[in-house]
């Protein structure tokens, strides 16, 4: 029974980690979508520099770089060329 309890606890912990990772990815994807919409509408200046647990460090018509406040690591990089996405990288 100890083995089964340990296994169940490990699975529950893994599920919590997976859920947290999914929520982080959704938040970053939303920041990216907001960036694309702001570029398209010409209102890039209205895109907030801080969004939840993330901070935008580079925001131009061709590049978006977002870092995590928690670990100061780059979390999202988007590059555009002629209005088309050439790079969308979640780290």
- Alpha-carbon distance of 83 to 40, in angstroms, equals 8
**Single pTM value for the model:** 0.82
Find the mean pLDDT for residues 55-63.
96
- Alpha-carbon distance of 26 to 13, in angstroms, equals 20
- Dump pLDDT digits (tens) for 13-47: 788 787 888 999 999 999 999 999 999 999 999 99
């Amino acid at each position: 029974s100890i083995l089964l309890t340990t296994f169940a606890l490990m699975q529950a912990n893994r599920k919590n980690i997976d859920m947290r990772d999914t929520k982080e990815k959704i938040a970053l994807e939303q920041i990216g979508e907001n960036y694309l919409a702001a570029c398209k509408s010409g209102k890039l200046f209205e895109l907030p520099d801080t969004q939840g647990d993330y901070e935008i460090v580079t925001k131009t018509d061709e590049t978006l770089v977002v870092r995590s406040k928690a670990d100061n690591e780059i979390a999202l990089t988007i590059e555009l060329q002629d209005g088309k996405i050439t790079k969308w990288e979640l780290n």
